Amino acid sequence: MLHIVNKSPLERNALESCLRVAQGGALLLTEDAVYAATHGNAAAGKITAAMAGMKVYVLGPDLDARGMTDRLIEGVASVDYAGFVDLVAEYPTNQSWL
Report domain extents, the chain.
2-97
Q: Which fold has domain 2-97?
A: Hypothetical Protein Ychn; Chain: A, (3.40.1260)
Count of residues making up the chain: 98
Contact 32, 3 (CB under 8 A): no
pLDDT in tens, 43-94: 999 999 999 999 999 999 999 999 999 999 999 999 999 999 999 999 989 9
**25 closest CA partner among 46, 9, 1:** 1
What pTM does this model have? Answer: 0.95
